[in-house]
Amino acid sequence: MCAAHVVAAMPRLPAPPAAAADLLPLRPVEFEILLTLAPGERHGYAIIQETEARSGGALRLETGTLYRALQRLVQGGLVTPVERRARDAGDDERRRYYALTAAGRAAAAAEATRMARLVAAAQAAQLIPRTITG
């Protein structure tokens, strides 16, 4: 299949907002963190656990890697630390919680759109099937 046919076969996806597009591509670890924070705030260990569970154990963030990436995301305005006290006996008040900012949500959405375009191109080029099963 020639390049023109591959491009024609790809679905049209909306372009990401300009500011979010300027941050692309995100580092895989940063995208994983943003993806984990999308539903709501999490503490560091919960981010590690959720990324490992989502990847079926293929990705295990080391503590240093996580906190260096969180520092970059906070400095970039994509994530913000959240002041919070323990809500129940099982919640340690020393835990640091993080939340996605509006810019972080836009960047994660833009990265997901970028990845979807790549997957569509790979499917159109018959590198991967149209439907992928677990």
CATH class in words for 3-124: mainly alpha
Distance between CA atoms of residues 36 and 66, nearest Å:
12
User: Measuring CA to CA, how many Å separate 114 from each of 38, 65, 108, 109, 117?
Assistant: 17, 24, 10, 9, 5
pTM for the predicted model, two decimal places: 0.78
SS (H, E, C) the chain: CCHHHHHHHCCCCCCCCHHHHCCCCCCHHHHHHHHHHCCCCEEHHHHHHHHHHHCCCCCCCCHHHHHHHHHHHHHCCCEEEECCCCCCCCCCCCCCEEEECHHHHHHHHHHHHHHHHHHHHHHHCCCCCCCCCC
* pLDDT by residue, tens only, the chain of 134 residues: 444 444 455 555 455 455 777 888 999 999 999 999 999 999 999 999 999 999 999 989 999 999 999 999 999 999 999 986 556 556 667 789 999 999 999 999 999 999 999 999 999 999 999 887 65
